[in-house]
Structure 1
Amino acid sequence: MGEDDLTVSLETLRQVFNEALDNLEERVGHTVELDEDFFWSIPREALYDPYATPDPEQLTLGQLTASWDSLKRMHANGDHMNEYTLVWIAEILQALGQRAR
C-alpha cells in the first residue's frame, strides 16, 4: 500500500457522501426508521488492530438514539461540532448502510 492510499480528500469524500445520501433518499424518502438501537462499541486500539482479538471486557454498548440525539441537539443549538461528532455520524451511517443492504 502506497503512502497516498490512506490520504483522504475531504472534497472527494464530501462528493461521494452527498451522492450516497441522494441515492438513499431516492430509494427510501426523506427519513429512515432504524430497527436497532444498541450496538457493540470496540475501543479504537482494538478496532484498527486486525491481528488482535478484542478482550470481551473491552467491548461496550453504544446507542444510536444517544448518538442521534447528540447530533440533533448540537445542530439545533448551533453548537460547534466537537471532536466526537464524526464518530456519532459514523455510528448512524453504519446503521443506515446495514439497513439499506
Structure 2
Amino acid sequence: MDSWSGLKIDTQELREVFERLITHLEQSRGESVTLHEDYFYSLPFPEIYDVTNDPPSPTIGQLAESWTNLQRTQDIGSTVTFELVWLGDLLKALGHLA
C-alpha cells in the first residue's frame, strides 16, 4: 500500500459542506426525514481502519439509538468526540436515501 501521511480537513470547509448538504436535504425532503431502516452493521474501532488484516466481526448499531444519544447529550465535554460517530451513523443512512 502507498505511504499515507494523513488527510487534513479544514473545519470551516467541512462546515460549509455540512451546510450545503443540510440545505439540499431540506429542499429535497422537507423539514423532517424518515429513515425506514433502524439497525445496521458497524465495525469496531480501531480495527475498522486496519485493512492489512481480515475484517473484524461486525457489531449491530441502531439509528434510533444514535439519534437519541445526540438529542439527550447534556455534558458535551464528555461525549462530543463520540457524537461525531453517532452523527456519522445518521449521515450514512441519509446518504442512502437517494
TM (normalized to structure 1)? 0.82
1:84 and 2:66 are equivalent in the alignment: no
Q: CA RMSD in A?
A: 1.9
Say whether the 8 Å CA contact 1:71–1:88 is kept in structure 2. yes
Highest relative contact order (Cα 8 Å, sep 6+), 1 or 2?
A: 1
- Change in Cα spacing, 1:53 to 1:24, as seen in structure 2 (3 Å) is same
1:14 corresponds to: 15
The structural deviation recorded for 1:2 is 7.5
Which ranges of 4 or more aligned residues in structure 1 deviate by more than 3 Å? Answer: none
Unaligned segments of structure 2, at least 5 residues: none
The percent identity for this pair of structures is 36
Relative to its length, the structure with more helix (as a share) is 1
1:28 and 2:29 are equivalent in the alignment: yes
Q: Which amino acid aligns with 1:29?
A: G
SS at match of 1:39: strand
Residues 60-81 of structure 1, C-alpha deviation per residue, up to 9 Å, x if partnerless? 100011100011112xx5x325
